[in-house]
Amino acid sequence: VQLQASGGGLVQAGGSLRLSCAASGYMFGLKSMGWYLQAPGKQREWVATLTSDGATEYVDSVKGRFTIARDNGNAKNTMYLQMDSLKFEDTGVYYCNVVASSRPGMWADYWGQGTQVTVSS
């Protein structure tokens, strides 16, 4: 499974960005898709998850501002992170993650290459 993240950039505080992550390659099963943030000087931290049955979860700091979603059209293996009301502390590299299996019961984490988001105060 290969993940290609895009959509990062420089934005002023209060602005919006939409990140995309396209998954390709064979997947027998898909358990969840998610986003993680690695802020400067910090470890990678979980931001949001979208499960295969459509449930969403967010870290408290982004609730009400970020929305994770999956393409409902022809690109069903593409997910998005709509980021509104951006804050300086949202700055960092965002990584997309997929938990998928290549055969029954063999689940693994897959990671994209990361996309930089910089929020200016």
The tens digit of pLDDT for each residue in 56-101 reads: 999 999 999 999 999 877 777 899 999 999 999 999 999 999 999 9
Minimal CA–CA distance to 66: which of 44, 36, 42?
A: 36
CA distance 101 to 104: 7
The tens digit of pLDDT for each residue in 1-29 reads: 999 999 999 999 999 999 999 999 888 88
pLDDT at 45: 98
Q: Answer for the pair 48, 80: CB distance below 8 angstroms, yes or no.
A: no
